[in-house]
Amino acid sequence: MKPHKILVVEDDKVTRTLMGAILTQAGYEVIFASTASQAVQVAREENPNLITLDINLDMESPGDAWDGFTVAGWLKRLNEKTPVPVIIVSGADPLNHWQGL
């Protein structure tokens, strides 16, 4: 049986590598994206079974407004017929980071 494929979307290289190692050791096929646009492209091409998504993605350009929430919306639209579960991952302090929510 083919292992489930997990897309890890994480801009921090150390965190991305650690998550990939843990998931690979657990028997999953792991694919990676480090930016918002890569995440959408890889999800389209690879059809993962699960996505882990960093909310605090670095912006790709000064005018870029893509954060993890925006990516989550795009991913939902990509797979409306068969939604892919997304696990939000963040090291940010929610009390300081999302005060306006």
Closest CA to 16 of 39, 38, 36, 32: 32
Q: Give average pLDDT by consecutive 10-residue segment, the chain, 101 residues.
A: 91 93 97 90 93 81 66 80 84 55 46
Contacts with 98 (C-beta within 8 Å, 6 or more apart), sequence order: 92
List of domains in the chain:
5-97 (3.40.50.2300)
Q: What pLDDT does 60 receive?
A: 60
Strand partners of residue 81: none
Give the DSSP H/E element, type plus range, for residue 25: helix 13-25
